[in-house]
Structure 1
Amino acid sequence: MTCLNKVAMTPPSSDHKRPHTPSSFRFSSLNLVWFLVVPSTVFFLVSTLGPHRPSISPLSSLLQVSFSNNSLQGSSIFNGSSIDSSFQLEAETDYFVSNMPLPDAIIEKHTIQLDISKNNESESVVIVTSKIVKKNSKLERNEANLARVRSSIKQAALVRNLTSTHQDPDYVPHGPIYRNANAFHRSYLEMEKVFKIYVYKEGEPPIFHNGPCRSIYSSEGRFIHELEKGNFYTTEDPDEALVYFLPFSVVMLVQYLYEPETSNTNAIGRTVVDYIDVISGKYPYWNRSLGADHFMLSCHDWGPRTSSYVPHLFHKSVRVLCNANTSEGFNPSKDASFPEINLLTGEVEGLLGGPSPSHRSILAFFAGRLHGYIRYLLLNEWKDKRDPDVQVFDQLPKGVSYMSKLKNSRFCLCPSGYEVASPRIVEAIYAECVPVLISDNYVPPFSDVLNWKSFSIQIAVKDIPNIKKILMGVSQRQYLRMQRRVKQVQRHFVVNATPKRYDVFHMINHSIWLRRLNIHVRYQSWSILKARAGVSTCLKQ
């Protein structure tokens, strides 16, 4: 980019006075333009490229960018076949940085001398030009590194072996539970080397930097607390980060700000809006991508609703949600499904494992109160049948253990409640019982990586009356294969006091990592952005 910066005029070589002809008048007018316009231009350039002021750019709303409109049946980088969540690594979205701080640029000056002759008179014009040359910023280095990572994962995806070809001392992904074991393993190893998260420091507990660790919402609290510890993936240098975490807990927002007597949620919305205003005013990172490299996380049913108060948060940011309902705006190409885990004591001790398949006498089991339309259909159809094969209860008889029933069942029914997610999916996996998902519009956790059809049964809501027929149609050989795969996939859902490689904490991070790979944040010249705003500028390509 070049811009006129300084003009020096030398006196004419002849001493006699120039005649006042129209041409000389035009030339004098040109001189006037040099002296009046150029200083203003220089001032505009300096003020524009000066140190970035931490405020929301008025040009942000002009950046018309969007994610590729992937359908739910798109192809995946991990297997190239039709999948439910349709994460496409090659479908990248560019986000343009509309500002470049002066420290990230250097100025090259060039001097040009022009000799102008007119009516036997000569005049020399010396023009000093300045060219803005951008140095490699941390953002550009990050993006260059991510480009290398994308290429390596795509190459790994070409290998169709059921077992990863990469070496790993802890675990080598293998088998049909993965869409592409080799691509997943390559991606995971790259994540461990490259992925960095910056957790915004703003906000005070209990609403920020805090969450429940013992309840149906334990997934949310556990993840927040692990990031706050700073032992995995986090960085204190925001320029080094690839993604930025918005550390509010929706569970805590509801607990402290919701007004049940009036059903008023405005205070929740104002808190989220104010928080985005604070971090976008203090840091440049939200503005430069319109939030596309930021993420929120929620296991509360109101997670999607809470994000809707900030349009960019809803439409552009990564939302890690238990309530992964595509009919309510969940977008698998940018949002990530979050496993709902009910830890009453905060520990998984006693929850893992169960009898061998030969000692599981119950075909299918469910116990749970009326909670939403799908459960109503299930209870209405099966509760009063007292079928010994399909045991469905709204309340277990006294003295009957819920965990014992789970561990003695071949299939565990996991119907949605008022919202699509259910903690029974992870409960079934812990008990080594093949989960039966009964839901509409639900994207199961880690669907980018895991082939859910290999270790679970998915039954449409309309087929609830046919549950027994469908499950009886699964051969013994097929059931044994699925049950072995449930035991294998269990490692990806286990909660550990200190996270272990490939466990649920790392898998959630991997889901976020994949979404970051799907966008490209890059600088864009001021000339294009100003043109969009209808503002003229002296900057040129």
Structure 2
Amino acid sequence: MSPFSSWVQLLSLLPLLLLPTALLLLPAARRLPPANPSAAASSPALPTLFPHGSTLKRPERNKLEEELSRARSAIRRAGASSPASRRNFSGVFPLPRVYRNPAAFYRSYVEMERRFKVYVYEEGEPPLVHEGPCKNIYTTEGRFIAEMEALPLAAAAASAAGGVRTADPRRAHAFFLPFSVAQLVRYVYRPLSYDHAPIRRFVSDYVAVVAAKHPFWNRSAGADHFMLSCHDWGPHASRAHPSLYGSAIRALCNANTSEGFRPRKDVSIPEINLVTGELPPMPPPPPPQSPNSTSTSSRPLLAFFAGGLHGPIRPILLHHWKNRDPDLAVYEYLPAGAGDYFSYMRRSRFCLCPSGYEVASPRVVEAIYSGCIPAIISEGYVLPFSDVLRWEEFSVTVAVADLPRLKEALAAVPKEEVRRLRAGVRAVRRHFVLNHPPERFDAFYMILHSVWLRRLNIKVTEF
């Protein structure tokens, strides 16, 4: 049994510095229910069988929290500095306006590089754990797991920099559960059964194993742990365990508030579709263009969409605009001989990104790759990296109710605004690109940074 209890504070840390105010209106210090060893012992989901001597000593735990406290203070100072005294970020961020607070973001990112340590649980075997699909629409899930597994280990000293991943869980600020929901669907789910129980049972059992073998889950009720999934069923899989759903950080492509996604603790990640699995991703970036150009000659189409009738929004879009207007290239299937999908994107000013069965769509990232302004048509979708990015600086949002007047709305966007938005698209592109090995500010590290922000916003206190 653990020699001390623990509880988790949610801290009102960065509401004005990084995250949209509406996303982080947290109480100054709200306690989550403490882990209850006696109750957990009676539950197969939360056993508390701590190996002798494995519990992190209180001074060491406090040292980790003190590190995070120093990081919070540094970020606050950077974010609150006057515009005149802020560093010139042109060398790091060529277009600072696409960030909510570039000074706070840069300071937070540097603090993450300097301090953040993640422990990857070793329990489980491939193909269900420690690997995932590295091509198709679940690419983000597989690539993130693969890169986390491949990261060099940080030095053993608690204060040592030089890597995010640590082999010593006692030095970790966060803990990664490396199971793949996409692999569970492939290998555990029985096709056409519509029965999620085997998937949920595996997830529940996996959490039970790490909770039984290590003290860290029970110490925080999972609040400093995170899972990642790009499968539509990721949110459903997380419901297999109450603390995984209610306390842990869930990094999800399907970031739908109507399905329980909570931006204050969960992370929205981009859905990236690598058709062949090769890096760098296709399509290649569009040809360079003068940032002051307002010409539409290279992008004669006002908007483009091609896709199936999935979910409640696309049928409305296709009902009003399918094959209706040459300026609005809206198709269910591309006409034979009309060119490939990405050539349409590169010829369009706006790329329509309507939700399908789920809110996320790889079209958002494909539009950004193609230099096309994403037109988001969704309800309840928390956009990726909106904790630091100003999506209004490189995309537009179209309400479902406005679909009948879609052409009028898009055509009314002034040329100067189109130029500004396209410049924003070019500026954020690197944040949505996967690299091997990962590169600074790319999609992998942006996901980690979003996890870092959520970890900064809690405090694990032991007494």
DSSP-derived class of the 1:252 partner: helix
- Check conservation: 1:209, 1:247, Cα contact below 8 A: yes
1:519 paired residue among 449, 458, 462: 458
2:77 paired residue among 147, 155, 161: 155
Q: How many residues are treated as equivalent by the alignment? A: 431
Relative to the length of structure 1, the TM-score reads 0.74
- Check conservation: 2:188, 2:199, Cα contact below 8 A: yes
Separation of aligned partners in 2, 1:455 and 1:278: 44
Distance 1:352 1:82, change over 3 A: farther
Deviations, residues 83-107 of structure 1 (Å, cap 9, x unaligned): 5xx14688555566789999799xx
**Larger Cα-atom Rg:** 1
Q: Identify the residue that residue 159 of structure 2 maps to in structure 1.
A: none
Deviations, residues 136-170 of structure 1 (Å, cap 9, x unaligned): 522110101111111111111113549961779x7
1:396 paired residue among 328, 334, 337: 334
Separation of aligned partners in 2, 1:162 and 1:491: 27
Q: Identify the residue that residue 437 of structure 1 maps to in structure 2.
A: 376
Structure 1 residues 468-477 or 506-515, which shifts more?
468-477
2:183 paired residue among 243, 247, 252: 252
Relative to the length of structure 2, the TM-score reads 0.86
Q: Identify the residue that residue 197 of structure 1 maps to in structure 2.
A: 118
Q: Identify the residue that residue 271 of structure 2 maps to in structure 1.
A: 340
TM-fit CA distance, 1:363? 0.5
Task: Name the aligned partner's letter for residue 214 of structure 1.
Answer: K
Q: Identify the residue that residue 18 of structure 1 maps to in structure 2.
A: none
Aligned-pair identity (%): 48
Q: Identify the residue that residue 272 of structure 1 maps to in structure 2.
A: 203
Deviations, residues 449-477 of structure 1 (Å, cap 9, x unaligned): 00001110011111111211111111011
DSSP-derived class of the 2:97 partner: coil
Separation of aligned partners in 1, 2:10 and 2:171: 24
Deviations, residues 319-340 of structure 1 (Å, cap 9, x unaligned): 0000000000000000000100
Task: Name the aligned partner's letter for residue 390 of structure 1.
Answer: L
The answer as to 2:314 corresponding to 1:314 is: no
Q: Identify the residue that residue 67 of structure 2 maps to in structure 1.
A: 145
1:221 paired residue among 138, 142, 150: 142
Separation of aligned partners in 2, 1:493 and 1:337: 12
Distance 1:414 1:91, change over 3 A: farther
- Check conservation: 2:353, 2:375, Cα contact below 8 A: yes
Distance 1:383 1:414, change over 3 A: same
Distance 1:196 1:401, change over 3 A: same
Structure 1 residues 255-264 or 488-497, which shifts more?
255-264
The answer as to 2:266 corresponding to 1:323 is: no
Separation of aligned partners in 2, 1:195 and 1:48: 25
Task: Name the aligned partner's letter for residue 216 of structure 2.
Answer: Y
Distance 1:164 1:451, change over 3 A: farther
Task: Name the aligned partner's letter for residue 155 of structure 1.
Answer: R
Deviations, residues 41-98 of structure 1 (Å, cap 9, x unaligned): xxxxxx984xx9xxxxxx89xx7x7858x9xxx9833268645xx1468855556678
- Of Structure 1 and Structure 2, the greater strand share is in 1
Separation of aligned partners in 2, 1:280 and 1:379: 49
DSSP-derived class of the 1:373 partner: coil
What is the correspondence of 1:342-491 to structure 2 with a 5 Å cutoff?
342-346=273-277, 347-355=279-287, 356=289, 358=296, 359-385=298-324, 387-399=325-337, 400-491=339-430
Distance 1:183 1:475, change over 3 A: same
Separation of aligned partners in 2, 1:522 and 1:274: 27
RMSD: 2.8
TM-fit CA distance, 1:244? 0.4
Deviations, residues 457-503 of structure 1 (Å, cap 9, x unaligned): 01111111121111111101111011011000101111112111000
TM-fit CA distance, 1:350? 4.4
Distance 1:76 1:418, change over 3 A: same
Distance 1:281 1:75, change over 3 A: closer
Separation of aligned partners in 2, 1:405 and 1:378: 18
TM-fit CA distance, 1:172? 3.9
Structure 1's unaligned 5+ residue stretches are: 1-46, 53-58, 106-133, 525-541
Separation of aligned partners in 2, 1:199 and 1:248: 10
Task: Name the aligned partner's letter for residue 416 of structure 2.
Answer: R
DSSP-derived class of the 1:384 partner: coil
Separation of aligned partners in 2, 1:296 and 1:275: 12
- Check conservation: 1:94, 1:521, Cα contact below 8 A: no
Separation of aligned partners in 2, 1:302 and 1:161: 44
Structure 2's unaligned 5+ residue stretches are: 38-49, 153-162, 290-294
